[in-house]
Structure 1
Amino acid sequence: MGVTVSCPRCAAQVRKPDLMHTAWRCDNCGEVPPFHVAEHISAEIVESMLRPVARSADRVPFWCPWPLPAGWMVTGVGWAGDDRAGVRASAVSCSGPEPLGGGPADVVLIAEQPGVGLGTRFAGIPGIDPGYLIAEALADPNGHQGPHAKIKAAGHPTPLWCVKSPEDRSAYVSEAKGMWLYAVAWPASAGYFLAEHVVLHDLSEGVPPELVYGAPSPYLQGRA
C-alpha cells in the first residue's frame, strides 16, 4: 500500500526521527505528528489504516457519513501520529454530486486532538486549534444565532459552526468524543451536504461492508 507522509499543518515534507531527534520534524513547523495518507482506497486499505488506532491509548474516531447519501463514495483515508505518540488525528474524504446540482463535490471529515493543526490546514484558517473561532461566532451579537448546521456523531446530536475560510471551500467546526471535529467541503456550496440529515459513524468501531469506494480525492492527497 502506497502512503504519502507530510506535515499535518503545512503539507511540507517531514523528517523521520534520528539519533539526534526522537520526533518527526517539519522544517516549517518543528516537531509534528506526521500525516499519513493512503494513495489508493479500498476496504482492505481502510482496514490497514485503522490498525494504528487499535494500538493507541486514546482512540481517535474516523468519521464517515453512514449511510452515505445517494451517489456518494469514500475517496480517501489518513491519520496523523507515530508509533511513539499513537494516532492523534484522522481524516476521511468523501465525494459525490454537489447538493445544489453544480457538479462534483468533496468533503473531508477530520477528528483531532488539540494541538495537531490538521483541521485548520484543510479549512484554510490560521492557528492550530479552532476554539477562538467558535468563541467569536458565539460572541457576535450581530451574527447567526445558534449553530449553522446539525448532524449526528456516534449517535449524539452535534452542532456545527461555519468558520471563515477561503472562498473555494466551506469549513465547519465542532467537538465530538472530546476531540475537534471538522467538516471541510469543496466547492463552498457543497457545505449544504451537511443539511441532508448527516449521521457520522466511527469506522474504527466497524467498517460497513456495503461502503462504496471511489477514485482518490485530490484534496486529501494535497494535489488540489
Structure 2
Amino acid sequence: MRVSRLYVAMPLVLHETIELDEDSAHYLRTVLRLKKTQTITLFNGEGGEYQGKVVEVSRKRVLIELLSFTNRSVESGLHVILGLGVSRGDRMDFSVQKSVELGIAKITPLQTERCVVQLKAEKGQNKVRHWQKIAQHATEQSGRTFRPTVEAVENIEAWVKQQTGLKLFLDPFATRTLKQLQPEGRQVTLLAGPEGGFSEQEREMAKQAGFIPVQMGPRILRTETAALTAITAVQVLWGDLGREDAE
C-alpha cells in the first residue's frame, strides 16, 4: 500500500510530535482521509523525509509523531531554471505541474508582449499562490524532497538580464540543437514563450542577454509542449540520465 506524502512548512525533528497547520490538517482529513494510527511521509523541502504516524485527527487539530528519518533524494544533478511566458487557463497549471515532476528547480512566470493574460497587482499574486500550491502537490506526488520555487511574475526584459549558466530560448525557427551545446556549471536556464511566441524585439533582447536560440525538432510545438520537451531533453542529455555516474 502506497504511503501518502505531505509537504509541511515547518521544522521537523525526529521522535517529536508535531501539529499540522490548518491547510495541511484540512488536506489530511478531507483529501487523504487518514485516520488515527495510519502512516504518512512528511518533508519540509530541506532534504530527506520523515515517516510519521497519525496520533490524533479531530476538527481542532491533527498530530503526527515522527518515527524515522530517511536521507533520500531524487533530485537531478542539473539545476534547471524555467522562465515561462504566462499562458491561458489550465495550460499554465499543466506546465507548472509537469515541470516539477521533471525536476525543475525554479519557475518564473513571465509577462511578454504576446501574453493573452496580463497579471497585475493582487491578481498576479493570487495566481502565483495558486501555481505554488500546484508545485507543492506535484512535489509530493513525484517523491521529491526538495520543493522547487515558483517566483513572482516578472517582466521578460528584467528577467533575461539576471540569468546565468547555459541560457537557451526555445525557437522553432532556430538552427542549433541541444546536442551542439554543453551546460556551464551544471546549470541550464530555459526561456519559453506564451501561445503567440516571442516578438522580434524580445528575441533580440534575449540574444543580447546571452540566450541561445534552439529548436526542439522540426515541428512547431505548443507552449506547454515546448517547455516540457526542453526540460526532458536537458535531463536526458546532462541531468537525470546524462550523468556519467548515473546508474
Q: Which category of TM-score, normalised to the shorter sequence, fits these structures? A: under 0.3
- Tell me which protein shows more helix as a share of its residues: 2
- Return the index of the structure with the highest Cα Rg: 2
> Could you tell me the TM-score, scaled by structure 2's length?
0.23
